Structure 1
């Protein structure tokens, strides 16, 4: 994977489309802001520039969060999960994270669910 450190690339388990889901979280509060997708190049750019870069499945191109909206994400930490198939990107978010103008993409409301408890 061009650009990406070979030891990092070897740990990745990409989808058939060459992508990884990236869960984006506010670094200081733990608030989940959004879910986006990264390919190896987007991950490389994110790791080396300090700006969150993603792969747009609809536009079929890379995009830097906030490049047009001004709602930038400054990278604080990137983690790879135990299976190598999901990223956690901890950022300092400027302005809303969601394209709808809300702070988080998860403001659409809670779904009714039975609340579990340990036995």
Structure 2
């Protein structure tokens, strides 16, 4: 726990009770969804109180805490110049490597001597 928390006597007494799995889950009754009898905040408090007293929360019927999805890391979009930089650089290098042959061809076409 990040901070020390003082729980009320009532909450500590509630943490000693046994609960059913249905108390912590939403239920579909008569075509309508009903909220759980014990909400997520109270569940978290009960779990912390059980851990504080050295008991296993699962033994009292508390469900396992939900696992969070890992964050999706997207590469930065960058500007158009940054996105096309590698392609443009490769194109320039290829053109520079072909330059001597292009120069000789141009001189031949123009009638100049090499």
Whether the TM-score (by the shorter chain) exceeds 0.5 is: no
Q: TM-score, normalised by structure 2?
A: 0.20
Which has more radius of gyration? 2
Q: TM-score, normalised by structure 1?
A: 0.20
Q: Per residue, is there more strand in 1 or in 2?
A: 1
Q: Per residue, is there more helix in 1 or in 2?
A: 2
Structure with the bigger RCO (C-alpha within 8 Å, sep 6+) is 1
